[in-house]
Each structure stands twice: as structure tokens, then as C-alpha cells.
Amino acid sequence: MKGANPVKKSDEKLKIGIIGYGRMGSSLIDGAIRSGLISPDSVLIYDTDAKRSELAREKSLKTASSLEEIASCDVVILAVKPKDMPQLLENLGTVMRAYPTFKPLVVSIAAGVRLSTLQSALGGYSRIVRAMPNIAASVNESASVFVPSNKITDEDLVVVKSILDSVGLAFMVRDESLLDVVTGIVGSGPAYFFLLMKIMEEIGIKYGLSRDLVRRMVAQTCKGSGKMALISKESFEQLISAVASPGGTTEEALKIMDSKGLAEIISQAISAAIEKSRKMASSASTPAPRT
């Protein structure tokens, strides 16, 4: 739905509040604005960091001076770091009790913070969605996965998918445990590709290419490979074979990678990221609701 604005309440635009305008929060909301899905005047930013709030204002975004101001929003995106979630949830729960008409669609993009943790911290409130976009939302090329609570309506799903689709491609799963797998693959994924591109860049420079030239070459190669993978019906093995001619340069490179156990290293690394997400979820503290 890019180019349109389905995020509406009747003929009125939904007001979107985002708590946390750091790397991920700004990537998500800036990408949604750039896509045309939402307009800056429908967004309200709240961040306790004065520098990040100033950055938002420099982009003509409205900022809230207190969490209470977020009570006017229809959708509230929680985009703080997982370590900051317990305190935020306690404060947000206080606001929700003070403003009983405040019944927003809550979208959390914090890794490892379960729906049950969010619901418990907010006094049983369950109109909540967990989502895992990645930093490529800043250039409208994120892969995002989301899981809804059982109280989410079809209309809520349209809103969430529209926001996430506006910054790339969005996919829904119903099994929340899969979001830990998604975190290790999608959330952390850009860093894996950046590392590979960094290695390729350094090799290019070593053999005489300029840094600017090799960076653009490597980035375009990565972009082209991703696009081929998206539109091709061939398996990854078939795509590899299409590049690796027998006795050629690609085959020679792949032999070295195989002999060094590269596939196993990458597999272990991503599995470690997934297990870390699971540990974060199991150890997350849940602030007790106030009575």
C-alpha cells in the first residue's frame, strides 16, 4: 500500500506515538514517512534523551515533553532498548490507569520482550503486537515479522502490516516463539551482510581498487543478489551453481570457504543470536502492576 495512506480512523489519520527515537525507532518512523504512508503531522515522538528529541524536531516532527502526552495517540510504538522496557512499561501502565480512555494499539519492537510480559506490565492490557523490523527500514528495505496477541482485530492487523510494509516487506506469524528465530536472522541479519561486505571491500582495496569504487561495487552486488533471491524460483543451491562455473573463480573461492567450515561458523553464530534472544526473554523482569 505504498503511496497511499491506509492508516486512518474513518476520514481522520491515526495519530502515531513512538516512544524511543534511537536507531531503530527513527529508522522505522522516518521510513514510514518517506514512503508516504504517514505524514509528519500525525506523529508524536517521546524520548528522554534531549539530543534525540532535538533531532526529531529538526525533521519537523512533534515531540512530547511527557509520557502523558502520548495518551492522545491511537497507535503507540515502543522502540526503546530491551533493558529500558521494564521502567517504560511501569510508567506507561501508570499513564494508562490515569487515562482510562487511552486504549491504543501498542506495537513493541523490543527484542526478547514477550507478549505476556507486556500484557502483565500493563495490567492485563492485551491490544498488543510484537514486531521485529531491522535497520534497513531507514531505506525502506526492511524485512519485518510481527506476531499479534489474541485480542488484535483484523483492522489492527491492517494498520500494523501497512506500517511495516511501508518500510520493506512484512510477514505475520502466530507462534511467538518464532520471533526469537526471526531476531537472530532478520533483526541481526544486516550486520552479517555488512561484515561480509567489509571483508570484500578490504580485499578490493588490498588489490588496488579505491575504497569508494569497491564499496559501491560490493553494495550493488549485495543488492542485486538479494533482488535475484526475491524474484527467482530457484533454490539457493541452484543460484550458487548458476554463478559457480566448473573450474572457475567462484568455485575456487567456494572450495576455500568450505574447507574452512564457513557454513558451520555462520550457522553457529546465528544460532547463538537466537539463543541470546531466548535468554533475554526468559530473564526479562516484569514490573508488578500497581493496584
Cβ-Cβ contacts under 8 Å for 203 (sequence gap 6 or more): none
Locus of grid cell 518500510: 167
Give the Cα separation of 206 and 230 in Å (integer). Answer: 32
Question: Helix 262-283 to helix 249-259 angle, to the nearest 10 degrees?
Answer: 50
Domains of the chain (ranges; CATH) run: 8-175 (3.40.50.720), 189-278 (1.10.3730.10)
Entry field: residues in the chain: 291
Give the Cα separation of 201 and 207 in Å (integer). Answer: 10
Of all helices (H) and strands (E), which one includes residue 210?
none
Can you give the pTM of this predicted structure?
A: 0.88
Q: What is the pLDDT of residue 285?
A: 46
Question: Helix 262-283 to helix 189-206 angle, to the nearest 10 degrees?
Answer: 140
pLDDT per position as a tens digit, 239-290: 999 999 999 999 999 999 999 999 999 999 999 999 998 988 887 644 444 4
Contact (Cβ atoms closer than 8 angstroms) between residue 255 and residue 247? no
Q: Above 50 in pLDDT, residue 163? A: yes
Q: What is the pLDDT of residue 283?
A: 75
Q: How many CB atoms lie within 10 A of CB 262?
A: 12
Q: Above 60 in pLDDT, residue 4? A: no
Q: What is the pLDDT of residue 8?
A: 62
Residue 187, SS3 per DSSP: helix
Q: Which three cell numbers stand for residue 281?
A: 526473554
Give the Cα separation of 228 and 30 in Å (integer). Answer: 27
Q: What is the mean pLDDT of residues 186-203?
A: 97
Q: What is the pLDDT of residue 111?
A: 87
Q: Within the chain, what is the greatest distance between any pair of CA atoms?
A: 72
What is the Cβ-side half-sphere exposure of residue 9, based on CA atoms within 13 angstroms?
11
Give the Cα separation of 27 and 259 in Å (integer). Answer: 39
pLDDT per position as a tens digit, 47-87: 999 999 999 999 999 999 999 999 889 999 999 998 899 99
**What's the Rg (C-alpha) of the chain?**
21
Locus of grid cell 510481527: 146
Q: What is the pLDDT of residue 284?
A: 63
Q: What is the mean pLDDT of residues 136-162?
A: 95
